[in-house]
Amino acid sequence: MKLAIIAHDGKKAEMVRFLTDHTAFLQRNDVKLVATGTTGSHVEKAGLDVHKVESGPRGGDAQIAAMVTEGLIDAVIFFRDPLDKHPHEPDIAMLMRICDVHNIPLATNQASAGLIIRGLE
């Protein structure tokens, strides 16, 4: 199972906490993490294994969308910061649209991410 993880700057610590809180699930189900570059660096520092693509502003959101299109991603957790502007907003919207087109579960906050984890268990 492959889980894509992305977090805006103000949500990276929250993403790391979420993943460390669910380490047992990740290990038990042999979940492979794929992350945008900066988010992946934070996750690595927490001791988790992750495959990193480019950072979001450098095309990482688009890379993950391509992986969704190719059937390589089973779910996406994207902790967005709705109170901040993001220069790569078109890529973010495209990723969310691609998840809808391909019927891939997409969580944009801790509550929905927790439901995805419970559903995958």
Residue 5 CA to residue 16 CA, distance in Å, equals: 10
Q: Do residues 22 and 118 make contact, with C-beta atoms less than 8 angstroms apart?
A: no
Domains of the chain: 2-120 (3.40.50.1380)
The predicted model gives 41-54 an average pLDDT of: 96
Look at residue 91 in the predicted model and tell me its pLDDT.
86
Which residues have a Cβ under 8 Å from the Cβ of 52 and sit 6 or more positions away?
A: 34, 35, 36, 37, 40, 41, 44
pLDDT per position as a tens digit, 7-24: 999 999 999 999 999 999
Assign 90 a pLDDT band (cuts: 50, 70, 90): confident
Look at residue 25 in the predicted model and tell me its pLDDT.
94
Please give the share of the chain, as a percent, with pLDDT higher than 70.
Answer: 100
Active site residues: 61
Which residues have a Cβ under 8 Å from the Cβ of 66 and sit 6 or more positions away?
A: none
